[in-house]
Amino acid sequence: MCGIVGYIGSRQAYPIILNGLKRLEYRGYDSAGIAIYDGAGIQLSKTKGKVSDLEKRVKKEIKTTGTLGIGHTRWATHGVPNDVNSHPHYSNSGELVIIHNGIIENYSAIKKALIKRGYSFYSETDTEVLVNLIEDIKKKENVKLGKAVQIALNQVVGAYAIAVFDKMKPDEIVVAKLGSPLAIGIGEDEFFVASDATPFIEFTNNAIYLEDEEMAIIRLGREVRVRKIKNDSLVVPYVQELQLNLEQIEKGGYDHFMLKEIYEQPSVIKDTYRGRLLASEGIIKLGGLEDHIQKFINANRVIIVACGTSWHAGLVAEYIFEDWARIPVEVEYASEFRYRNPIITEKDVVIAISQSGETADTLAAIKLAKQRGAFVYGVCNVVGSSISRETHSGTYTHAGPEIGVASTKAFTTQITVLTMIALKLAKIKGTISQSNYMKHLRELEMIPHHVEEALKSDTKIRAIAEVFQDAANFLYLGRGYNFPVALEGALKLKEISYIHAEGYPAAEMKHGPIALIDEQMPVVVIAVNSNHYEKVVSNIEEIKARNGKIIAVVTEGDSTVKELADYIMEVPKTPETLSPLVTTIPLQLLSYHIAVMLGRNVDQPRNLAKSVTVE
Ligand code: M6R
């Protein structure tokens, strides 16, 4: 988490950095800061709060003229969010200034040693320790900044993406990466540094993504020098052409990114299967899968690792993989998997699902699975992300940038990819009949249309949100394929409205949660056409008998649940196997409207960050 941005060139650095911070604010937004070299010294301003607070403060506090600068938007790890703990941080001499995304785990021991050497510390951060370690090495060893950074990083344990400059040598920025992303935009006689490419997309399409344990010295008038941190050897960097455009990272007339992203689902689901799903010919073609298909076919089992919403997509995949392809599937929280000495063999295939491709726990789970010989397949959205590079192969979801912290289009596009994989495997294994296979290909192709239809209930859903906006708790129930959707609906509500919500398999309700039900408890039940429809109806009766308020997601034309429920949200008819792709839509809208009505910051809910690059 945290966003970092930097610029060196001939333009004014401040507007580029400020705008870049606004674009990176999804990564963390509890404090922000900026440092500009003004031709004589460093102008530094930082504050608790958002980038907009920084902007106000900068106006009062510093001069912003200068063509070299760095900026930071923070998600606190060490030290509470306050002005002092905000980045950038100076070294004791005031010559070096640094921004950092990540955690230095052994900072405490280094800090003690530096204090003994006469260094003082003003913040509680690990970052201030790092910049002073660099300064100490630079002076002690009498080396240049780049060399000092390299030596220092060999002494630290943890994760980082850093950018640091020296006011005594204001023609270069030194950057380094381990575990947190760092992109370098290459312009004409100018360079950009950022956690992702969005801050510089209007200036250049050429970027270098540093690999882990790489650093770069970015000096004006020279090519970017990339080196290995371990042994200082030079690396020939790969300059990538970016496929991103400005429109994709703007709100496009919507009040929030989350709403824009909910509404983008019909088109991005199409993008996900475009060129991969040829329904009329009965073909599914997934580039990353073709060469590795036998690994899946011969696998003892598939282990899915992911976090949050991506984990919910993994749960949906468990149902479809087992149902169609008859491959045993285990779905694991990456954070638990990595620490519990799991049994993994060379006969296992691990699928790692991640929107950002940067989630630290998922990345660690992948590394563990690789060490133990498993084949690891990634389902990622962000092209070139750490997870997409760390996995043996994979499929991109092509959802486009997801900026709202609450995942929406990432979920449906992940399920789309996983559905295609499951169908393809089932076809090859012969575990699905030809007619069922063809039916599902055609139905999958229809999903964007069904999602569009589901979105038409928006006004009705807003009215339901109005009724329940003050509820203190919500229960979400679903069965089978829609149990993960219940979990996802509850997560969406919790994270953006701060209302407590629980997702449960509907039949489990009577084993405990039923005790919570009274007239104050709204219960969202996914009750679409399925093999369990009658059972879900019985669950609804049980809730009604205890005066619970029922909000049901039903298939268009449903009459039974309509009579029982207090409110209904209709979705088009789909096969049960594909229903999560549409039943999730009203739940996204419900949580969105409730959060807006409660005045929450929908795109940047408190305490959260878009990509969780710390464990
Ligand atoms: O980028 P990832 O998909 O790996 O992120 C995983 C979770 O952090 C993420 O899904 C999180 O739960 C979202 N805020 C949910 O909306």
Residue 365, helix vs strand vs coil: helix
- Nearest Cα residue to atom 4 of ligand 1: 354
- Ligand 1 atom with the smallest distance to the CA of 356 is 1
CA distance 376 to 233: 29
Question: Is residue 346 exposed (0-12), middle (13-18) or buried (19+ Cβ within 10 Å)?
Answer: exposed
385 ligand 1 Cβ < 6 A: no
CA distance 601 to 408: 16
CATH topology (fold) of 3-247: Glutamine Phosphoribosylpyrophosphate, subunit 1, domain 1 (3.60.20)
Strands 89-90 and 158-166: unpaired
* Paired residues of 543 in beta bridges: none
The catalytic position among 2, 22, 270, 380 is 2
309 ligand 1 Cβ < 6 A: yes
User: Taking Cα atoms as reference points, which of 69, 41, 38 lies closest to residue 54?
Assistant: 69
pTM: 0.83
User: Taking Cα atoms as reference points, which of 182, 128, 243 lies closest to residue 6?
Assistant: 182
**Predicted pLDDT at 384:** 83
User: Taking Cα atoms as reference points, which of 32, 35, 9, 10 lies closest to residue 21?
Assistant: 32
CA of 564 to the centre of ligand 1 (A): 35
Same CATH topology for 254-450 and 456-615? yes
CA of 4 to the centre of ligand 1 (A): 20
Residues of the chain with pLDDT under 50: none
> Would you tell me how many other CB atoms lie within 10 Å of the CB of residue 83?
14
CA of 603 to the centre of ligand 1 (A): 13
- Nearest Cα residue to atom 12 of ligand 1: 308
**Predicted pLDDT at 431:** 97
Superfamily of domain 254-450: Glucose-6-phosphate isomerase like protein; domain 1 (3.40.50.10490)
**Predicted pLDDT at 245:** 81
- Ligand 1 atom with the smallest distance to the CA of 307 is 6
488 ligand 1 Cβ < 6 A: no
Place of tokens 């209930």: 457
CA distance 475 to 460: 20
613 ligand 1 Cβ < 6 A: no
- Ligand 1 atom with the smallest distance to the CA of 405 is 14
335 ligand 1 Cβ < 6 A: no
229 ligand 1 Cβ < 6 A: no
In single-letter form, the type of residue at position 312 comes to H
CATH 3.40.50.10490 fits 456-615, yes or no: yes
Mutate to test the pocket of ligand 1, among 310, 402, 495, 604 (most ligand atoms within 8 A of CB): 310
User: Taking Cα atoms as reference points, which of 548, 514, 527, 415 lies closest to residue 479?
Assistant: 527
CA of 307 to the centre of ligand 1 (A): 6
Q: Which residues lie closer than 8 Å to 599 by C-beta, 6 or more apart?
A: none
**Helix H or strand E segment including 142:** none
Known catalytic residue: 144? Answer: no
- For every residue of 274-290, DSSP letters joined together read TTTEEGGGTEE--HHHH
CA of 474 to the centre of ligand 1 (A): 21
Tokens for 44?
Answer: 């530094």
Per-residue CA distances from 553 to 467, 510, 511, 541, 597 (Å): 16, 20, 23, 15, 21
**Predicted pLDDT at 610:** 78
Known catalytic residue: 2? Answer: yes
**Predicted pLDDT at 243:** 82
Domain ranges, ordered by start, for the chain: 3-247, 254-450, 456-615
Mutate to test the pocket of ligand 1, among 355, 383, 606 (most ligand atoms within 8 A of CB): 355
Tokens for 350?
Answer: 């691990």
Tens digits of per-residue pLDDT, 566-589?
Answer: 999 999 999 999 999 999 999 999
* Paired residues of 329 in beta bridges: 302
Tokens for 16?
Answer: 């580029």
Residue 104, helix vs strand vs coil: strand
CA distance 240 to 357: 17
